[in-house]
Structure 1
């Protein structure tokens, strides 16, 4: 990730891509399973659906832990859900989320899948906002550092999803 000097109010984004040798249907099963995601994350400890009906508007609870921020819970709301194409959720208030996360799937060559994970900070306040409040002169470094953490975590998640989808790891 290249230094951009972004501030939180800029709603900076990051994305990571992988080519997966599995059809979009298989990859979709994995990316839309919120309970599976903690398996690939050092930060996300658990995720569980709060609503029985899945799709846009469905909510799930995530519990996370980070050495600098401690432990916290968030409620996320699905904001886009197109089977085998896109699964996205807003963290916190969907109108003013602290972050938006998205998996996008596209059919790749030979029946495979191009999988992209994308995330945007803000515009709503998050735990990062409190660090920025305490050290406003370091805002750009704080934002950049967190985006780098997200990028590494997304890479690990996509690598784990790829291994599962390709049958190189058992559920």
Structure 2
């Protein structure tokens, strides 16, 4: 795990990686299926493609509904911003020009299997976390740190689930 930045405006990032004993094609089928993601996440509850889209392509949109004990329930619209089949799948949350977050999966063949990484950037656009920061600006660094640790924990769990599914065939 690696994360950088301490303030929301720093656009902190976190990245987790794993090696999977499965071919990239099998791993790609899992990471590019956004409908599968709620089964792999405690926070993300549901996902649905919008505008008649049935899968990822640059510009396609999907609606995600999430729930967090401290933050409540919310929904966001995400825009696919990178899509290179078999290699990269990334989306911006809310406004692609000023996203509240960017998420990215990258994979490549390595050592007879697949290296998979999940990366995310918080901000620069406003998110639900900004309300907490607005209420307690003196605690911004702690708020950002705690949320980034949650992301790191959830991303590690997601990759663990993807690894298990891919290796099971």
Q: Same fold (TM over 0.5)?
A: yes
Alignment of 1:124-143 (within 5 A): 124-143=125-144
| Residues 3 and 144 in structure 1, CA contact (< 8 A), matched pair in contact too | no
Partner of 1:9: 9
Q: Deviations over 1:19-60 (max 9, x none)?
A: 001111111110010010011111000111113263100000
CA shift for structure 1 position 4: 6.1
- For structure 1, list consecutive stretches of 5 or more residues without a partner in the other structure: none
- For structure 2, list consecutive stretches of 5 or more residues without a partner in the other structure: none
Give the 3 Å change call, closer, same or farther, for CA 4–85 of structure 1 in structure 2: closer
Partner of 1:78: 80
| Residues 4 and 12 in structure 2, CA contact (< 8 A), matched pair in contact too | no
Give the 3 Å change call, closer, same or farther, for CA 83–127 of structure 1 in structure 2: same
Aligned Cα RMSD in Å?
1.5
Give the secondary-structure state (helix, strand or coil) at the position aligned to 1:19.
strand
Identify which of 50, 53, 68 aligns with 1:66.
Answer: 68
CA shift for structure 1 position 9: 0.1
Give the secondary-structure state (helix, strand or coil) at the position aligned to 1:166.
helix
Alignment of 1:78-157 (within 5 A): 78-110=80-112, 112-157=113-158
Q: Deviations over 1:145-167 (max 9, x none)?
A: 00000000000000000000111
Partner of 2:22: 22
Partner of 1:163: 164
| Large movers: runs of 4+ above 4 Å | 1-5
The alignment covers a number of residue pairs equal to: 167
CA distance in 2, matches of 1:47, 1:76: 10
Q: TM-score under structure 2 normalisation? A: 0.95
